[in-house]
Amino acid sequence: MNKFLIGSKIIGTMSLSSKFASVVSSVLKFLFPTSDEIRLRKINQSKKLKIEKEKRFLHQKYDRQKRALLLKYGSPVYNLALKEQSLNNEIIVFEKSRRVMILGEIYAYSDFSSCTYTDNQRILKGEASFVTKLNAQETNLFTGFEYDIYQTAGLEKSNISNKDIITHNYSIIIKLNDSPTSIIKIPMGSNLEKVTELLGVINSIIEINSRSVFVRMKQAVSWSS
């Protein structure tokens, strides 16, 4: 018994000493890296600095473009960014100048004829799977004079069918007035809330434009009479 305890102490001491040696080795490698390690650190640091520099450049470029856009068309009343820091992935409505920027292109209110959406659905069929459970069962066993109740284990197999998964891929479809086949297609992904929001905004613009046309037609008829 004593020998076992002494042996375990020796083993424990060896384990601690090996851990200490590993820590010391790691510290020495950090303080005194090899030439290959120094070169690898410099390469990684250079890559990191390059990525940060590119991000700053793109951010500054986006800010300049956005300021120029607001200076030209006024403050926006609606701004939807499908992707951060990219005017080519934004929808901006300028009420004062009656202009709308969609994915980097500028349109007038009067350009829009209709707006709807499509949904390219995909249905992923659920797969059936079988689950086996171990259930306790009571069994009556005759021992000669009376029945005794014993707990036995039984296997129960059940069939589980996973539900179908429906994935959505929405697109906003805007028809323009200048041509029957001229349309704008805006990919919206699976975000139905944003689809409903943008659909309401564009249809409101179409309604505003329709009212303006009606008022101008009414004024023209009154003037001619």
Q: Which residues contact 90 (CB under 8 A, 6 or more apart)?
A: 79, 80, 81, 82, 83, 101, 103
155/188 same-domain check: no
Tens of pLDDT, residue by residue over 45-72, are 888 888 888 888 888 999 999 999 999 9
Mean pLDDT calculated for residue range 27-52: 77
**Of 185 and 222, more confident:** 185
DSSP one-letter code for 190: T
Q: Is residue 181 part of a domain?
A: yes
The pair of structure tokens assigned to 63 is 């800010």
Provide the mean pLDDT of the chain.
Answer: 76
**Of 218 and 33, more confident:** 33
Q: What local confidence, expressed as pLDDT, does residue 169 receive?
A: 93
Q: What local confidence, expressed as pLDDT, does residue 1 receive?
A: 45
Altogether, the residues listed in the chain come to a count of 225
Q: Read off the pTM.
A: 0.59
80/177 same-domain check: yes
Rounded-to-integer distance, Cα 53 and Cα 125, Å: 46
Rounded-to-integer distance, Cα 112 and Cα 98, Å: 12
Q: Is residue 179 part of a domain?
A: yes
Q: What local confidence, expressed as pLDDT, does residue 93 receive?
A: 95
116/141 same-domain check: no
Residue 150 has pLDDT above 80, yes or no: no
Q: 141: domain range?
A: 127-161
Q: What local confidence, expressed as pLDDT, does residue 219 receive?
A: 46
114/146 same-domain check: no
Rounded-to-integer distance, Cα 23 and Cα 153, Å: 52
Mean pLDDT calculated for residue range 117-146: 65
Residue 10 has pLDDT above 90, yes or no: no
Q: Is residue 37 part of a domain?
A: no
The structural domain count of the chain equals 3
Residue 137 has pLDDT above 60, yes or no: no
114/214 same-domain check: yes
113/14 same-domain check: no
Rounded-to-integer distance, Cα 152 and Cα 166, Å: 44
